[in-house]
Structure 1
Amino acid sequence: MVNKFKNYINNKVKIKYIFLFIILAILGHSYVLFRYFKDGVIFTGPNDGIEQMLPIQMYLYEHWTSGSFFYSTDLGLGGDMFMDFAYYFSTNILFIINVILIWLGSFIFNFNTEQMIFWAQNAIFISIVKSFLIMTFTFLLFKKLGLNHISSIVMSFLFAVSPIYFRFTVYWPFFSDVFMLLPLLILSIERFLKDKKIGLVIIVVAITFINNFYFAYYQLLTGLIYFLYRFIFTHKDDIVPRIQQLTLLIIASVLGLGSSLFVFFHSAHSFIGNNREVYQGRIPLLSDFTKHDNIFYDNYLFVVLFITIQALLTFKLYKHYYYRLFSIFTIMLIVFSFIPYVDSVFNGFSAPQKRWHYLLTFFSSGLIGFYVYYFKTIPLKHYILTTLPTFVVIFASYFITKDYVIWIWMVPILFISGLLVLTLNVTRKLPIIIYALLILLLSFLVSKEHSKNQIYHDDHERRANDFYIQASTFDSGLQRKHISKLKNQTDDDERIGWRVLTQDNTPMYQHFKGMSLYSSIFDGQLNQYLFSDVKVNLQDESLSRYSNMQGRSNLYSLWSTKYIMKKSYQKETPANFKIKSDDGKYQILENEEMLPAVKVTNQYFDKKQISNPLDLEHAMIKGVSTSDSSKEYAQLNKTQNLLNQIKITERDANYNNNTLTVPNNGDGITINIPKKVASKYEDMYLMMHLERKLPQSNFTIQINDYENNRLFEDSKYRMNQDDLLYRIPVPKDGKIFIGLTNGKYNLKLQGLYGENYNALKQADKRKQYTYLEENGKIDIHLKAHHKGTAVINIPYRNGMRAKVDGEKTPVQKVNHIMTAVDVDKQDKHIELSYTPPYFKTMIIISILFIGLSIIFTRKVNRKP
């Protein structure tokens, strides 16, 4: 009976704290909710947020609920959504649960998941849920560390509604998952050292590696550093001997990693295969120490509450083990925040990225929690002395920057409140509760002010709102009407070239098979093909995007682009496309030289002998480019280089020995093409090597009507591609003008080639097959054809399988990126399917490790 009563009381306490954390999570988001319901400002950033995060979430939901989990040809030009989006949401546990709940709820509430506004609203809901979970896990940790309920609640709230949490969640919501995983990781270490319970370590390691491989690296570094501290400086309650600590934690970590391999292996594989250039920029020793580096006032990234200064200076409390631990880590991380190389270390020794600062928020918030816990033991004189530097830092920051923040008045209020707590000498809890509540108010005001100044800035309010994401600048009803009509006129294997302004993920949220993608991670083979092999030159240089085919008719046809839709004012029109309709806002162009998505050919060209992108286009049109030495190669007529037939003149610039000096923006050189040469062609293809010399800056290359924006040399997003190709409609005056931003350049013209599209016009355009893509499988039924290689214009991926008339057949990579299978004359049916490489093997290994983990846990856990 007594036990039942105790359980009843414990359950009531648990429910009480659940409701408390729900209320605190909602209150912490009150400014977010206020701005949304009052002004329609959404809790998602205007760049990565609405251009990447929301479209990818919508895309995954639609494909998962329709039974497609891996390969899809509408992921840009085609890709594996499981591997390619592992960096984002495809392995994100909270998002997967969210998808399941939305799918179940849609049967009752009829959610409109096809509209972006739904996912914007969902982002607010998920953030509140996440904040609740962060507070719950952090509360459990600090109770384990010996804090009372009040101090644990303070620390939990400070961490869960910190400025950096909101920044992460607004721009990259999967980043803020680490706020849940960090306290769980440290809780698992503490639980092991004090109770010899190892199971939570294995679970946390496995969940971390499953949820996001990128932040698994952050967790690995953090867990290692934290454990090393605990290993060197033991706590009086630790019961596991040092040698056992090392042995058991290493085994547990390996078991956790092994249990996660069914996901982690593929996530890591996708990242390694991304084929990004190595960062070559210079990393300074120290930050510039501008006002934006002031982490105690109005930093753009995060704010360390000023109470941290008081806590760090209260040396009397360093005698307490965890107070000392959190002080040391806070000091160390404060110093690290001014060393850009640390940013690089946390980013895998690549470009410096400020993504680890949630650690400083965690340890400084924890320090404040301990400060509140031991507050009544602080001598009054010591308290006053430690407050003075706080006043100096905060008010000096105000007078120097003139940036007013609403929470500045909390400095004297908290000082007086603390003074009263220490002076009144009251034994009751009420004064310290009031002091704790004031700290919660301070935390809320800091986050609210940071959100107002650093997140809800002018650009956010202008573009990240419920009107914008339903307007023509992002996703309008008229656009969807046009796309719906075009979709009805295209088959499964045909594409539509369209994106709203620079929204490369337009196909995801307007639900059509396009040819653009905006993602930090996509297959490196595709990157190699687009930017190195065929040298598509994006209008705006970026490692994370690909969009149109630069107006190159051959490439549009090779990828079965039937229609192009564009704004009526946009000039670029590929050759061989005719205007189908123009309503004054949008122009629809139809491809007159459409190539089939599947062709059977027996004409082979040696991949190694083709170095010119235009020659490669011709080879892909006439037959297939391959490295299969068992094939009999045909001879390809090389395109003539016209450089020796042109004349170069300077235009208010100096060009000598491949060095071009441009005094004013827009100056450069002119290529003069003889009329008898120009009259033979529709387009010219200009190839050149261009490097900007010091000083570094972004710059623009203007090639007649085509404006190409290039990034400065040390940019994190630069492609390091200096061999550039430009397609130029043959100018009537025979002049190609190269204009540049003022500066000095290394410019070498590599080639000028004419294109009359004879190869494309003479190609066989008959569609002698039927094509159906469903649930990740592609069924192709061939009609009349000869023996040869069936080339399918979808990107090849390791893990593709093929059956020809029911018989397994090897899948080949041809044309640098496309998929192919050999067929005989009598073959009729090709079935393509895909699973990630070693998928079943990794599942078996993970099951084995899970079994070993259960056995290991039962053996290690100390008996009561």
Structure 2
Amino acid sequence: MQQLLDLFKKKKFLYALAFFLPFSIYGVMFMLLGIAPFGEKSILVTDLHTQYVQFYTYLYDVMKNGKSIFYSWEGGMGLNFLGVFAYYLASPFSILILFFDRAHIPEAIMVMTLLKVGLAGMTMTHYLSHMMKRRDITIAVFSTFYALMSFVTVYSFCVMWLDAIYLLPLIMLGIERLLTTKKYGLFIFSLALTFITNFYISYMVGIFTFIYFIVRFCVLYDIRNVKQFFQKFVWFCIGTGLAVGMSAFIVLPTYLDLNSNFAERTKIPFSTTFNFDPLDFYSRFFNGVIDTTVNGMPNVYAGVLTVLLVPLFFVTKKISLKEKIVYGTVMLFLVLSFELPFLNIAWHGFEPPTNFPYRYSFVFSFLLVYVAARTFMVFGEDLLPALKKVVFFNLFMIILLGKVAPSYMQSNKMMANIFLVVVYALLLYLKVRLKNKKALVSFALLAIASLDVALNTMYSIKLMGYEYGYINRQEYASPYPGYEETIQKVAEKDPGLYRMETTMGRTWNDAMRFGYKGITHFNSVANGHLNLYMQDLGYGYLDALILQNGKGIVSTDALFGMKYMISDSPLNKYGFEKIDSVGDFSIYENKNALPFGYMVNKEEFDTKGKDKLKVQKYNYTNSFEEQNKLIGKLNGQSVEYYKALQPVSVQYDNLQVVETEKSKKQLANEKKKMALTNQKPIELAKLQDDKPASIKYVFDVKGKQQLYTKLRVNPTGVTKVYVNGKTLGKTIGEGPDSDLSNYPEYYWNNGILDLGSFENEKVEVEVQVKPHSIELDQQLFYGLDVDTFEKRVDELKQQPLNVTNYTGRSVEGKIDVKEDNFLFLSIPYDKGWKATVDGKDAKVLKLNDAFLGIELPKGTHTIELKYTSPGFTVGVIVSVISLLATVLLCFIVLKKRK
């Protein structure tokens, strides 16, 4: 056994162990829990299912099928895809998707995840070997703790964050070299790669990098030597600057995109109230104590052994007081960052995360592992008395947590943690007492550590399955039989530039996976200007991140070129005619769909735009008035295309109206633009809780009208709408978000609701109420005068932009303009679009803060539009210069050393 132990003192064997141990543990847990290809479940869960896999599929099409890396027509009416690439896909491991076919992107993501976890183990081993000045199997114990810390196992579905995990040890080692040997290459290149792979998480790494630089300088040098600190700090700044410069080709265009389109969602909280109870926080150091990723605690577990060793770091006399103070101060600062809202938000770029909190907790776990390893290397006879106290304290805490918090320290987890604490303590004792059995103790420690992280990994995977549900692999491959074939049939029939949507999409990003030009979209770097304007028009939303088409809106279906709709149920919408079907799916064509460009009255559009965007949780704009403004004048005359409907009767079944000041105050304080057609904000309460309750409105429809409603109910997701006794929603899949019949519902169904098309008849709209009481803050009922609207559509069709050619990032066309006016393009405004008119540069306007426009004089014109992500060209130049400067710097340093 000693020979085997000596074998792992060799660098290649130790590094191989450090890679394959976490890789294998994670892989085996996937296999045991039935994740494909080892079972029926896919790796797809939460945002990995709704966003990332679709983005990877689009990237696959970029690499294999020639789609544009700069721009995508498929998502959110059109978007800067380089921003999406920078946030989600810039990892060098993304190239692995080319070794899989398009249908097996989920398996490619699984391989990426396992490789990143394994690489994290290897780089941490490299770092610890240098810092501890030794190379043996126990180093792999601590590197495995790091590679499979709770941050990794809980947030592994955010695969784009994992690159920072394997790069962080290299950056820290680079700082060590910068401080001690004047070698700058490792620091600069590893930091640059971190900025490139994910600009968001690299912000947090950057903060910690600065903190770590201060820490290591204080440990290595006399902190009173200001001159020496300044010299080192200058080189640190130069190195950081070069790293940022090398990443400019992706960071600069991403920054410019965010700066132009990002919507502020909250005020920065300056409260000193703690985020959580310290006892709850302490529980997160133990195995398997993991809770919700929606608003849970920091994920700080990094092996139960760290719970025993970290306190001993501050006890041992073999570590200097200065080092203890420095590391203790940083650890305290990080704990306060978790606890204090202001510091926590600062770590997140002063923007609160939507779910998945404490995204910087991995740096705290990194410190835990380092401090634990540092203590382990000096652990001796002198620490046994202190170890005894630490063991008893933690056993007491485990039992206490089992009593006061049984929801997350269940009896099985309590027993597992007691077992781990006792066995780790025994092995530490044997490390001191059985010095001639070093090999046996080392391998036993490795085995227990592997069991430790394996259990926690299993709990993490199970948590994701319980909280969100892993998508069935077959369900991903074929969400609906014939769905993809139907989409392809439309594309083959009509290869032109138009939009299409479906009424039964599985995710907000289906368009990017299946290759159609849709409206519905979700990503964290979305176009805030577009999304907020679309909210005003009545489209579904979540903050400024999600844009949802739903069943569409007849008027903007026409104005935005929505030419086809695929539905699995009859489509009750004026203008849409069924032209074909595939299996259970019907293809509807919109006879009113306008081209991507057409002439509009310039005086009806705002060209100033908004400098700052502010998101409100609930949009109270009268969307029908906004629709009327966008549709524009008919023959130069103002027209109400949407008209408010007044019910001929309103009946409350098992409900009574309760006078309330609460909603009035709330609306007044928020200073929202309101329009209440029927009554003021009211509170409704059930008369008998055990019986159904509803509001029934009866409308007398005159002529041909498409009816809509916009309700604002507090809380959301507790009311359903029926029209003439029929529900408007349906249920898809399983889980809390599967029932789409709830309206309004915060995530899925909160825009204006299409009630159907009617002609000269009475219509009953019933709103069923589930809870005891609701606040009805807004209730709008409107009808679209179809005949009048179609006259306006015919008017707009008189001056179309006839598209002669288009690519992934360009459009060419001709137009005959009757009088000086604006060319409206239903393409989201972005500074990356450049236009020429008859070969000459033309100014691109921002219409209504959302869309492209060009002012055109009377006559026939040739229009050309081309997109390049803003800042990309400059970024490439800066990156090349920075790379050359870094190479030159390293060459000069090397030459001086020789």
TM-score range, shorter chain: 0.7 to 0.9
Contact 2:560 2:826 in 1 (8 A): yes
Paired residues, number:
808
Partner of 1:212: 198
- Residue 36 of structure 1: SS of its match in structure 2? coil
Aligned-partner Cα distance in 2 for 1:12–1:341: 46
- Residue 703 of structure 2: SS of its match in structure 1? coil
Aligned-partner Cα distance in 2 for 1:600–1:746: 40
- Residue 145 of structure 1: SS of its match in structure 2? helix
Contact 1:795 1:818 in 2 (8 A): yes
Partner of 2:464: 455
Alignment match of 2:305 (pick from 304, 307, 312): 307
Alignment of 1:308-707 (within 5 A): 308-314=306-312, 315-317=314-316, 319-321=318-320, 329-330=330-331, 333-334=334-335, 336-339=337-340, 342-351=343-352, 353-398=357-402, 401=406, 402-405=410-413, 407-408=416-417, 409-426=419-436, 429-457=438-466, 459-460=468-469, 463-471=470-478, 474=479, 476-498=480-502, 500-532=504-536, 534-537=537-540, 541=542, 543-548=544-549, 550-568=551-569, 573-581=572-580, 585-600=584-599, 605-607=604-606, 613-614=623-624, 617=627, 620-621=630-631, 634-638=636-640, 642=644, 650-651=652-653, 652-654=655-657, 658-664=680-686, 667=693, 669-673=695-699, 675=700, 678-686=701-709, 690=712, 692=714, 699-700=718-719, 702=721, 704=723, 705=727, 707=741
Contact 2:91 2:163 in 1 (8 A): no
Partner of 2:825: 792
- The answer to which of 498-507 and 635-644 deviates more is 635-644
Partner of 1:836: 869
Partner of 2:45: 46
Report the Cα offset of residue 337 of structure 1: 4.4
Contact 1:597 1:793 in 2 (8 A): yes
In structure 2, runs of 5+ residues without a counterpart are 1-5, 291-298, 610-620, 660-678, 729-740
Report the Cα offset of residue 784 of structure 1: 9.4
Report the Cα offset of residue 310 of structure 1: 1.8
AA matched with 2:35: Y
Matched, 1:272 2:255: no
Matched, 1:733 2:719: no
User: Deviations 1:53-82 (Å, cap 9, x if unpaired)?
Assistant: 111111122124415121222223111100
Partner of 1:627: none
Contact 1:194 1:238 in 2 (8 A): no
AA matched with 1:269: L
Alignment match of 1:191 (pick from 177, 184, 204): 177
The alpha-carbon distance between structure 1 residues 121 and 789, as it changes in their structure 2 partners (threshold 3 A), is same
Alignment match of 1:164 (pick from 145, 151, 155): 151
The alpha-carbon distance between structure 1 residues 411 and 613, as it changes in their structure 2 partners (threshold 3 A), is closer
The alpha-carbon distance between structure 1 residues 185 and 562, as it changes in their structure 2 partners (threshold 3 A), is same
Aligned-partner Cα distance in 1 for 2:36–2:75: 34
Report the Cα offset of residue 122 of structure 1: 0.8
Report the Cα offset of residue 835 of structure 1: 0.9
Aligned-partner Cα distance in 2 for 1:44–1:261: 33
Aligned-partner Cα distance in 1 for 2:382–2:451: 21
Report the Cα offset of residue 836 of structure 1: 1.9
Contact 2:719 2:767 in 1 (8 A): no
The alpha-carbon distance between structure 1 residues 43 and 859, as it changes in their structure 2 partners (threshold 3 A), is farther
Aligned-partner Cα distance in 2 for 1:648–1:837: 54
AA matched with 1:76: G
The alpha-carbon distance between structure 1 residues 669 and 457, as it changes in their structure 2 partners (threshold 3 A), is closer
Matched, 1:755 2:759: no
Aligned-partner Cα distance in 1 for 2:340–2:53: 33
- The answer to which of 232-241 and 579-588 deviates more is 232-241
Alignment match of 2:92 (pick from 88, 91, 94): 94
Partner of 1:298: 288
In structure 1, runs of 5+ residues without a counterpart are 1-8, 106-110, 625-632
Aligned-partner Cα distance in 1 for 2:340–2:628: 52
Report the Cα offset of residue 313 of structure 1: 3.1
Partner of 2:101: 112
Report the Cα offset of residue 446 of structure 1: 3.3
The alpha-carbon distance between structure 1 residues 847 and 581, as it changes in their structure 2 partners (threshold 3 A), is closer
Contact 2:308 2:390 in 1 (8 A): yes
Report the Cα offset of residue 672 of structure 1: 4.7
Contact 1:286 1:338 in 2 (8 A): yes
The alpha-carbon distance between structure 1 residues 726 and 485, as it changes in their structure 2 partners (threshold 3 A), is closer
Aligned-partner Cα distance in 2 for 1:363–1:291: 20
The alpha-carbon distance between structure 1 residues 263 and 231, as it changes in their structure 2 partners (threshold 3 A), is same
Report the Cα offset of residue 44 of structure 1: 2.8
- Residue 285 of structure 1: SS of its match in structure 2? coil
Contact 2:632 2:638 in 1 (8 A): no
Contact 2:218 2:326 in 1 (8 A): no
- Residue 663 of structure 1: SS of its match in structure 2? strand
Alignment match of 1:247 (pick from 226, 231, 234): 234
User: Deviations 1:416-458 (Å, cap 9, x if unpaired)?
Assistant: 33332322342x6314423431343244333333235323438
Aligned-partner Cα distance in 1 for 2:258–2:834: 23
- The answer to which of 218-227 and 584-593 deviates more is 584-593
Contact 2:151 2:300 in 1 (8 A): yes
Report the Cα offset of residue 736 of structure 1: 4.3
Aligned-partner Cα distance in 1 for 2:315–2:847: 71
Task: Percent identity, please.
Answer: 18
The alpha-carbon distance between structure 1 residues 779 and 752, as it changes in their structure 2 partners (threshold 3 A), is closer
User: Deviations 1:453-510 (Å, cap 9, x if unpaired)?
Assistant: 32343853xx433222124xx3x45111211212222232122211644412112222
AA matched with 2:460: S
Report the Cα offset of residue 112 of structure 1: 1.8
User: Deviations 1:756-798 (Å, cap 9, x if unpaired)?
Assistant: 3422355334777244322422232458977754433222211
User: Deviations 1:586-635 (Å, cap 9, x if unpaired)?
Assistant: 333222322223334567524499997546545655689xxxxxxxx955
The alpha-carbon distance between structure 1 residues 404 and 337, as it changes in their structure 2 partners (threshold 3 A), is farther
Contact 2:8 2:14 in 1 (8 A): no
Report the Cα offset of residue 654 of structure 1: 0.7
- Residue 86 of structure 2: SS of its match in structure 1? coil
The alpha-carbon distance between structure 1 residues 617 and 332, as it changes in their structure 2 partners (threshold 3 A), is closer
AA matched with 1:418: L
The alpha-carbon distance between structure 1 residues 232 and 699, as it changes in their structure 2 partners (threshold 3 A), is farther
Partner of 1:224: 210
**RMSD value over aligned CA atoms?**
4.0
User: Deviations 1:776-833 (Å, cap 9, x if unpaired)?
Assistant: 2223245897775443322221121123343333323335533333456664532211
Report the Cα offset of residue 294 of structure 1: 2.0
AA matched with 1:654: V
Report the Cα offset of residue 561 of structure 1: 1.8
Partner of 2:673: none
- Residue 682 of structure 1: SS of its match in structure 2? strand
Report the Cα offset of residue 163 of structure 1: 2.8
AA matched with 2:164: V
Aligned-partner Cα distance in 1 for 2:717–2:840: 54
- Residue 827 of structure 2: SS of its match in structure 1? strand
Report the Cα offset of residue 94 of structure 1: 2.0
AA matched with 1:760: E
Contact 1:32 1:43 in 2 (8 A): no
The alpha-carbon distance between structure 1 residues 699 and 152, as it changes in their structure 2 partners (threshold 3 A), is same
